[in-house]
Amino acid sequence: MPDRYVVVGNPIAHSKSPRIHHLFALQTGQDIQYDLLLAPLDGFRETLAQFFSHGGCGANVTVPFKQEASNVVHTLSARACAAGAVNTIVRLPSGLLEGDNTDGIGLLRDLQSNHGVVLKGAVVALIGAGGAARGVAGSLLDAGAAHVVVANRNLARARDLVDAFAGIGSIRACALNDLPVAVDIVINATSSSLTGAPLRLPSHCVGSHTICYDMMYASEPTAFMEWARQLGAARQFDGLGMLVEQAAEAFRIWRNKTPETVPVIAKLREELVFRSNPPGT
């Protein structure tokens, strides 16, 4: 009987995680079953407990439960503790649940290894202050970013995030309309691209050298990426690579196997384009 894993979120039907982990399992010869698990907005804890009580081995956590997950598990890894957010849960041999956060390493691997982006010395604008932003803020500073500006509609939430990472490096909070001029990298860590809701950011934060990165992904450029292109940003990327890279780290934690990510990213990109433009259309 295969070991069971899930990704828990709300909404969840859009998630590519089952496909990614299926490809990882084929590549590494692992016998696993990986499914979607929709949790009610007020029932994450109960949904997760039921899954693990029925023999579940591990879970990924996505919006909007990453911060809540840090209060549900029994122990936290160092990076999950620093982030105050969990996206990967493993059931230990003792039966206890340990929470980890692979978002930061997933983002760094995609930016640096897959896209050749230099973070050392960069001024980074991080848009959003939820679980996704918390998962990557410390990693950006650890990677050598000279300064990270956390911008959010709710300034108090941005300040809370900044307080959690102030001891690591140069980081400050600001309102969306107070972003600095022509930063080096703008990262959209909100879920706006899931709903298509526009992000009202000042155009002055993007210069001709700016790299814009949307942590969400789609078959076509996201609204955030299109906004960046129209402003003349140097390059725009979506988060498909980050999704695969953070999943690879979760897979390593669960199975002690490190899958190759580049062919999986290429396969998913091909499938996204095919579904958007099938032959004969």
Residues classed as catalytic: 66
Q: What is the DSSP secondary structure assignment for residue 10, as one 8-state letter?
A: S
> DSSP string spanning 212-252?
EEESS--SS--HHHHHHHHTT-SEEE-SHHHHHHHHHHHHH
- For residue 240, the one-letter residue type is L
As given in the structure block, the two tokens for residue 174 are: 């600001």
Q: What are phi and psi of 115, to 5 degrees?
A: -120, -5
The two beta strands, 58-61 and 3-9, are parallel
271: enclosing H helix or E strand: helix 262-276
- List C-alpha distances in Å: 123 to 84, 150, 171, 189: 23, 11, 10, 16
DSSP state of 203: G
Angle at 187 between CA 185 and CA 193, to 5 degrees: 145
